[in-house]
Amino acid sequence: MSEKEIISQVYEIGFHFIPGVGDEGSGEAFTKLRTVLEDNKAEVISFELPSRIGLAYPIEKMVDHKKQIYTESYFGWIKFDVARESMDVIKEALEKNDEILRYIIIKTVRENTLAPKKVYQAKQERDRKSNSVTTEEEPQEMDKEEVDRQIDALVDEEEVTS
């Protein structure tokens, strides 16, 4: 392999923007992040725009020499293909970005790795249908006396409960 050959790798960045950026600002912050990738010759494969979420636990970050505690953020991700040599520049840009609360970079594959959303209602309907299916028994022949006895028993039960 010669020195001029570029080895690329598929990466995914998951990131949290601080909630102070706001709904419109999260889109602008995302555009800045995407520009950093494109400036480093990255090919964006897929992404999810940031949306506001509650955090599982509070995250602390130093902002202007003051400790800030965040309980929500704007979470998004970008999957991209880039030369391995460019990752140092991208990581440095992520570290310097004050709008990013936290991020993670992982190596991944080009294929879609999103799991399909589970549909729980289908299982509930299936259970309900299996419970509602009853087997019909063939009617048994009853004589008039047996029918009268059962009716009298039901009438007696109603009188007792009333």
Residue 3 has pLDDT above 60, yes or no: no
For residues 12 and 125, which has the higher predicted lDDT (pLDDT)? 12
- Which distant-in-sequence residues (6+ apart) come within 8 Å of 64 by Cβ? none
Q: What are phi and psi of 101, to 5 degrees?
A: -80, -45
CA-atom Rg of the chain in angstroms: 32
Residue 112 has pLDDT above 80, yes or no: no
pLDDT per residue over 13-25, tens digit each? Answer: 999 999 999 988 9
- Tell me, what's the pLDDT at 153? 84
Q: How confident is the model at residue 1 (pLDDT cuts 50, 70, 90)?
A: very low
CATH class of 8-107: alpha beta
Residue 2 has pLDDT above 60, yes or no: no
CA atoms of 132 and 127, how far apart (whole Å): 9
Residue 141 has pLDDT above 50, yes or no: yes
- Domain boundaries along the sequence of the chain: 8-107
What pTM value is reported for the model? 0.65
pLDDT per residue over 47-99, tens digit each? Answer: 999 999 999 999 998 888 889 999 999 999 999 999 999 999 999 999 999 99
